[in-house]
Amino acid sequence: MPVAPGQNCCDRVSMKGLRCRPGDLALVIRGMFAGTVVTCICLESGEKLDALGVTQDSRPTWLVDRSLEWGCGANPDHTRMPYAPDASLLPIRPEPDQCEIERDLCEMPDTN
């Protein structure tokens, strides 16, 4: 799906349930580049990930500010590209303020 002017790719996807958010610094915790710090730019579209051969297990996937090596789809060889699965990232954030905590609590589904 193309991105409209003034819209970024994250506007189309709910951030609920994701580890990272656009603009987050994140630590890569899996793969050959574990320990590397990246900046999450935006979630990549399914069309682009399909074209790259990224499996469903590696989605959602972030466009990041540096190229990392990953095995890609049916190709077991490592491919260097500026993408990282959300599940392979650990966001680095300061302690949340009270407003953030309250907002996150309001977004949690009611279990009753």
Is residue 28 in a domain?
yes
Is residue 50 in a domain?
yes
What pLDDT is attached to residue 31?
85
User: 27 pLDDT exceeds 60?
Assistant: yes
Is residue 96 in a domain?
yes
Is residue 4 in a domain?
no
Band of residue 21 on the pLDDT scale cut at 50, 70, 90: very high
Band of residue 7 on the pLDDT scale cut at 50, 70, 90: very low
* Closest CA relative to residue 79, chosen from 69, 92, 64, 91: 69
Domain tally, the chain: 1
Q: What is the pLDDT of residues 28-59, one digit of tens each?
A: 998 889 999 999 999 999 999 999 888 898 89
- DSSP E strand stretches across the chain: 25-28, 37-43, 61-72, 75-85, 89-92
**pTM of the model as a whole:** 0.69
Are 78 and 70 in contact, with CB atoms under 8 Å apart? yes
Is residue 61 in a domain?
yes
Rounded percentage of the chain residues whose pLDDT exceeds 70: 71
What is the domain extent for residue 66?
9-107
Q: What is the pLDDT of residues 72-89, one digit of tens each?
A: 545 555 578 899 999 999
For residue 64, what is the domain's CATH number?
Answer: 2.30.30
State how far Cα 94 lies from the chain centre: 19
Band of residue 71 on the pLDDT scale cut at 50, 70, 90: low
What pLDDT is attached to residue 1?
36
Is residue 40 in a domain?
yes
Is residue 3 in a domain?
no
Is residue 30 in a domain?
yes
